[in-house]
Amino acid sequence: MLKEITIGQYLPGESFIHKLDPRTKILISIFFIACLFIVNKFVGYTFIVAFLLAIIAIAKIPVRFIFNGLKPIVLLVILTAVLNIFMTRGAEGTELFSIGVLKVYPEGLRIAGFMAARLILLIIGTSLLTLTTSPIELTDGIEKLLKPIGKEMAHELAMMMTIALRFIPTLIDETDKIMKAQKARGADFDSGGLMKKAKSLIPLLVPLFISSFRRADELAMAMEARGYRGGAGRTRMKVLKFTSRDIIAFGVFILLVLWCIVVRFIL
């Protein structure tokens, strides 16, 4: 299941989505997250779902890959839904049923479904950014967008964020290897209740931290050996440039934003 986490992974391609300027994809992703929180009705998610499906189809990302990426958050989605079901109170007399002191109202069910849908769409939307943008493009895009705060600071922040994203699949793979090594020595991560499973994961933390620090040190040494001195005087083989593709992408996304605003304030 660890290897099915899609955030931080990149799938190479030559699609319309892959060829978009990384700044376009980053800005659309930021406003996409805002749209998810603007919408307060299920009907508002119709265009959002259609927008995501269109991106998946155009980028030629396997649907199975997207669904596998949702498996690690199933427990979080269920927990969020359950908490909203039992913690949301509705109008008196609208109670559906009760379990002891816990009462379930139609409003609780509605909000639970709404929050679960929002969380799922949030994960899919953010995953599509890294799936269609290489780490180098992502670094350049973030650096360009942060340029107003200072060139050197923008470069350092962009580098840190990109390295953090890039190391997610690496650390997941390292965790999987450590788990398999400990299982071969008799460790049990599957049996028992939730608390026992959580405690069984504690022995993973020490070797994982040691491995992470070792990789970070190796990366720093490799960057120094190649003459890395930050963004000062750095040139690029490919200069970022907005094209007609980016204008089309922004135009389509503006329609989605307008739909979300209409749903929130007019419908």
Residue 207 per-residue DSSP state? H
- 168 against 252, higher pLDDT: 252
Angle at 72 between CA 199 and CA 131, to 5 degrees: 135
For 90-110, what is each residue's pLDDT tens digit?
A: 666 577 777 777 777 778 888
Stretch 32-59: mean pLDDT, rounded? 88
Exposed / middle / buried, residue 152 (Cβ in 10 Å: 0-12, 13-18, 19+): exposed
| Token pair listed for 51 | 């927008």
CB-based contacts of 34: which residues, under 8 Å, 6+ apart?
none
For residue 4, pLDDT beyond 70: no
For 116-149, what is each residue's pLDDT tens digit?
A: 888 889 888 888 888 888 878 888 888 888 877 7
Kindly tell me the number of DSSP H helices and DSSP E strands found in the chain: 10, 2
pLDDT at 198: 66
pTM of the model: 0.74
CB 24 within 8 A of CB 250: yes
For 187-214, what is each residue's pLDDT tens digit?
A: 776 666 666 666 777 777 788 888 888 8
Q: Helix, strand, coil: what percent of the chain each, to 5?
A: 70, 5, 25
pLDDT at 37: 86
Tell me how far apart the alpha carbons of residues 166 and 75 are, in angstroms, rounded to a whole number: 25
Exposed / middle / buried, residue 13 (Cβ in 10 Å: 0-12, 13-18, 19+): middle
pLDDT at 25: 92
Stretch 183-187: mean pLDDT, rounded? 76
**Domain definitions of the chain by residue range:** 2-159+170-176+241-265
For residue 10, pLDDT beyond 70: yes
pLDDT at 167: 78
Least reliable range by pLDDT among 131-140, 164-173, 236-245: 164-173
CB 231 within 8 A of CB 156: yes
Q: Identify the sign of the CA torsion 215, 216, 221, 222.
A: positive
Q: Which of 54, 202, 192 is nearest to 132 (CA)?
A: 54
pLDDT at 232: 62
Exposed / middle / buried, residue 222 (Cβ in 10 Å: 0-12, 13-18, 19+): exposed
Share of the chain above pLDDT 90, in %: 11
Share of the chain above pLDDT 70, in %: 86
pLDDT at 93: 57
N residues, the chain = 267
Q: Which of 18, 249, 23, 9 is nearest to 158 (CA)?
A: 23
Look over the chain and give the mean of its residue pLDDT values, rounded to a whole number. Answer: 80
Stretch 28-33: mean pLDDT, rounded? 91
Least reliable range by pLDDT among 45-49, 84-88, 131-135: 84-88
